[in-house]
Amino acid sequence: MIAQLKEHYQKSDNSILYLCVLYYIVMSFITPGFFSLGNNWNLLFNLMPLVIVSIGQTCVMLTGGIDLSITSTIALSSVVGASFMSSDSGLGFNPSVSTFIGIGVMLVVGAAIGLVNGVAVTKLGMPAFMVTLTTMMFFSGFAVWLTESQNIYNLPDSFLRISSMSMRDVPIPVVAALGVMLIAYFILNTTVIGEWIYAVGLNVKVARISGVNVDGTIISCYVFCGVCAALGAVLYTSRLETGSPIMGQNILLDVIGAVVIGGTSLFGGKGKVKWTLFGVLFISLLDNGLNLIGLSYFLIMIVKGLVILFAAILNVLKERPSLAS
């Protein structure tokens, strides 16, 4: 029985998920309130925007790139979208129309930043890290400048309800995250462009010679990533009822960390949607549990670091047991 379990564990690529389950069980015993309906809902809600943003990042990383500008994308689309919707700025549409327009504008902002990144990386041949580092600086500065640091509020109710509304008993954020995951899964596993993304990540030259539209593939990944970040911004903005120019500025390492811990390679060509889901689950659980235990600020950081290291070691030992000795 144990031997079978062990063999299954050795073979499967779900080890991070198992780690999550283990962590969940342990935490349920030692933390009051962890294993409760309310907390599970919390977990789920905290997870969703992060999942959406991370899925976009996964696509970019599959091509061998990286997108550091997701935080500024979230901030900029939050304030731009909010200023279209806010009753203060007085565009004067009726609430549901302006919600519609607002979300549309947010997604367009995301796509536009993605397009800038993608074009710079492909057509101008700039390294992704530097491109997105500078666009991060630029667009987050732009968001702050645009609003002069002020938050934008008085958003229409129909927009605010997004984070609490349900569609056939499934909350909208969950629907959105599931939707993004399904789309990403569909694209990566069943379409031509999905195959192209992996091929580009594994070897650009081979891909180009084999007729892959390399530039188009990479650009679409950055655009997709930007749209995902913007979608994350929709959920965040709706949840906080505020368009904020510094929204999401601290989630960058969480997102990239989650994707990489899930197993997606930083060098491209290797990664899966479900891995990223597990990675995000791992990071969120970690935060949630440590938060509930009531550890102090710095202990949470120390433990978080140690657990990440621990997970990585487990994963390595699984793949290469010889390193244990």
Partner 1 sequence: MKVIQARSIRKVLDHSTLILFAAIVITFGFLSSQFFTFQNLSNILIQSSSLAIIATGMTFVLLTAGIDLSVGSTMFLAGVVSAKMVAWGSPLWLACVTVLLVGTLYGLVNAFFIYRFKIIPFIVTLATFYVGRGFGLFLSETRAMNLPEGFLKIGSVSILGIPFPVLVLGVVILSAHLALSKTQFGRQIYAVGNNAEKARKAGMPVDRILLSVYLICGFCAALGGLVAIAQLGAVSPTFGKQSEFMAIAAAILGGTSLFGGKGNVFPGTLIGAVTIQSIQNGLVIVNANPYLYPLITGAVIFLIVLIDSLRHMQEVKSRRLGASF
Partner 2 sequence: MSLLAVFFLTSCSQEKNGPVIGISFETLQAEYWVASLESIKAECERNGASYIESVADGDANRQFEQVSNFISRRVDGIIIAPKDAHTVIPIIKAANKANIPIAIYNRVPVENSGEYITVVADNYEIAKSAVDHMGRIAREKGGEYKAMILIGDLGDINAINRRKGFEDALVEYSDIVELVAEVPTEWNQEKALAGVTNALQANPDINFIFSSSDFLFPSIVSALKNLDKYHPVGHEDHVLLGGFDGDAMAYKMLMEGYLDVDGVQDVHFECVEAVQSIFDMIEGKEANMRIRDPGFVIHQGNIDEFAGRMWGADFASE
Partner 3 sequence: MLLELKEIKKSFGQVRVLKGVSFTLEAGKVLGLVGENGAGKSTLMNILGGIHKPSSGEVFLEGKAFAPQGPTVSLNSGIALIHQELNLFPNLTVFENLFVKNFPRKSVAGIKLIDRRAAIFRAKELLEQVGLDIEPDRIVESLSPAQRQLLEIAKALSSSPRIIIFDEPTTALTRHESRRLFSLINDLRSNGIGMIYISHNLEDVISLSDDIAVLRDGEFINGYTKGGGYSLGSIIRDMVGRDMDQFFPDRDNIPRTDHLLEVKNLGMAPIVNGVSFVAKKGEVLGFYGLVGAGRSEVARCIYGLDSFEYGEVLWNGMRVKTLNPAAWISRGVAFLTEDRREEGLLLDQSIEKNVALASLGSFASAFLRRIKRKDINSAAKKKAEATRVKCDSFDGQATSTLSGGNQQKIVLAKWLLTDPKLLILDEPTKGIDVGAKHDIYELVNELVGNGSSVLLISSELEELLGMCDRILVMNRGRISAEFAKDVFNREAILESALHVMEEAIGA
- Of 32-40, 205-213, 214-222, 302-310, the segment contacting partner 1 by CB under 8 A is 302-310
CA 142 to chain CA mean position, Å? 22
Please list, residue by residue across 237-255, b when 16 or more beta carbons sit within 10 angstroms of its beta carbon and e when fewer do. bbbbebbbbbbbeebbebb
The CA distance from 204 to 202, in Å, is 7
The residues, ordered by sequence, that sit 6+ positions from 291 with a Cβ below 8 Å of its Cβ are: 300
With contacts defined by CB under 8 A, name the span among 14-22, 26-34, 103-111, 312-320 that binds partner 1: 312-320
Residue pair 238/159 in contact (Cβ under 8 Å)? The answer is yes
Separation CA 290–CA 284 (nearest Å): 10
Q: How far apart are CA 323 and CA 320, in angstroms?
A: 6
182 makes contact with partner 3 (CB under 8 A): no
User: Which amino acid is located at 74 in the chain?
Assistant: I
Q: Which residues pair with 243 in a beta bridge?
A: 152
Stretch that binds partner 2, among 94-102, 149-157, 167-175, 268-276 (CB under 8 A): 149-157
Residue 42 to residues 5, 48, 151, 235, 260, Cα–Cα distance (Å): 31, 10, 25, 14, 24
For residue 138, state whether it binds partner 1 (rule: CB under 8 A).
yes
Which residues, in sequence order, are CB contacts of 149 under 8 Å at separation 6+?
Answer: 245
Of the residues 246, 256, 259, 260, which one makes contact with partner 2 according to CB under 8 A: 246
> Is residue 115 near partner 1 by the rule CB under 8 A?
no
Task: Please identify, among the stretches 28-36, 172-180, 231-239, 316-324, the one whose residues bind partner 1 according to the rule CB under 8 A.
Answer: 316-324
Using CB under 8 A as the binding rule, whether residue 208 contacts partner 3 is answered as: yes
Considering the rule CB under 8 A, would residue 196 count as an interface residue with partner 3? yes
Please identify which residue in 68, 212, 221, 256 interacts with partner 3, judged by CB under 8 A: 212
Verify binding: residue 130, partner 1, rule CB under 8 A: yes
Determine if 325 is a binding residue for partner 1 (CB under 8 A).
no
Residues forming the site for partner 2 (CB under 8 A):
22-23, 26, 30-34, 36, 38-39, 41-42, 45-46, 49, 144, 149-151, 153, 236, 239-242, 244-251, 287-288, 290-297, 299-300, 303, 306-307, 309-310
